[in-house]
Amino acid sequence: MRPSRGVFLDSTRPGSAGDHVPSLDQPVDHYDVVVCIATYRRPAQLALLLGDIASQTYRRCLVEDASLSPRPRVAVAVADNDPDHHEVRPAETVVDEARTEHPGLDLFFVHETRPGVSHARNASVACAPAATYVAFIDDDERPSNRWLDELLAVRAVTDATVVVGPVVEVLPDAAPQWYTEGGFADEPGRADASPIGRCYAGNMLVCRRSLDAFSPPFDDRFQRTGGEDTFLSHNLTAAGASMVWAAEALVTTEVPLDRLTLGFVLRREFVGASSFTRGERIVYGFQPKRLVFGSGRMLIGLSSAAVAGLLGRRGTRASGLGNAARGAGVIAGALGIERVPGWW
């Protein structure tokens, strides 16, 4: 199927090859980058995100890669993962409205009824048109106006397979002090174009040819736990892919207050470490050193939390508990444990 603006694919329609909405200009056979978005019941945030993508400015990437001149050809593929909407789909309405509001942005849409972020991400990639690069961003994030510019520029400078940028948390005024003091909102301070060891789908650009080597790219064994994107990074690394950091490809996300409880944060740390290490086990096999590393991290974290608790340092105590949770997650993942009752 030749890509054209307004392609609509529906996984609920057996045999559907896609319904075409008339293009406002000549269709593009090949894009420089397609932005893939998996969305679930966030129509207002999706609308803001599409507007941000339509408003991207390009300068540095045009200097570093003359083939992108006068402007990169960009498309967006949206996969709606809400199984309850069949006749009226808020996400589809948002995409339709965005076609009118942003006529220069080519939009593609698919309704993925199978629940799970892996299915949704894979659906967005499957419905995306031909492109040199694929960028990923989450539906609750807001990119800076030079987000794609920086990702493409760093890719041109380094010739890396994957480029990853920072996701900065925007906290509510009532955020607990221990959260920031414990370092949970900190982004790693890395030099632009420096090598990194993992990627995540909240802010990354990957060569489409490398992504297509995995079918599908996001493994459904991580449907319930998350970590499907970091598992992709294991597969890419094992295949010889290089990954670098784009320090100025900034993305922000607003964190709701109900995710700033100590229980939620510790579960997040545990699950993140467990999913990453479980993916490592799947790709590379059992790693005994991970049991040693996880145990040491647990011991250090718990010791730090105990001392901080006696001294009344809530931020340091939370940080220590977070380290202990990550250590426990490393042990669980190294043992191949998928789920721990009471944790997720």
Q: For 260-309, write each residue's pLDDT tens digit.
A: 999 999 999 999 999 999 999 999 999 999 999 999 999 999 999 999 99
Would you call 52 exposed, middle or buried from its count of C-beta atoms within 10 A (0-12, 13-18, 19+)?
Answer: middle
Please say whether the beta carbons of 123 and 11 come within 8 A: yes
pLDDT one-digit tens code per residue, 63-74: 999 999 999 999
Q: What is the pLDDT of residue 83?
A: 86
- Least confident span in 84-88, 148-152, 238-242: 84-88
Please say whether the beta carbons of 240 and 194 come within 8 A: no
- The helix or strand, by DSSP H or E, that contains position 131, with its residue range, turns out to be strand 131-137
Dist. CA 96–CA 90, nearest whole Å: 10
Dist. CA 162–CA 213, nearest whole Å: 14
- Domain 8-257 fold: Spore Coat Polysaccharide Biosynthesis Protein SpsA; Chain A (3.90.550)
- At 144, list the tokens: 């800076």
Residue labelled with tokens 């607990």: 176
Q: What is the pLDDT of residue 21?
A: 32
Would you call 220 exposed, middle or buried from its count of C-beta atoms within 10 A (0-12, 13-18, 19+)?
Answer: middle
Q: In what order do the strands lie in the sheet with 167-170?
A: 141-143, 251-254, 167-170
Residue 24 has pLDDT above 70, yes or no: no
Dist. CA 85–CA 94, nearest whole Å: 14
Dist. CA 218–CA 242, nearest whole Å: 18
Ranges in the chain annotated CATH 3.90.550.10: 8-257
Dist. CA 80–CA 53, nearest whole Å: 18
Instruction: Tell me what the mean pLDDT of segment 322-332 comes to.
Output: 97
Task: Give strand pairing partners of 252.
Answer: 142, 168
Taking all residues of the chain, what is their mean pLDDT, rounded to a whole number? Answer: 89
Helix (H, G, I), strand (E, B) or coil at 90: helix
Please say whether the beta carbons of 154 and 249 come within 8 A: yes
Asked if the peptide bond before residue 70 counts as cis, ω within 30 degrees of 0, the response is: yes
Instruction: Tell me what the mean pLDDT of segment 112-132 comes to.
Output: 95
- Least confident span in 27-31, 172-176, 178-182, 196-200: 27-31
Please say whether the beta carbons of 148 and 72 come within 8 A: yes
Q: What is the pLDDT of residue 212?
A: 94
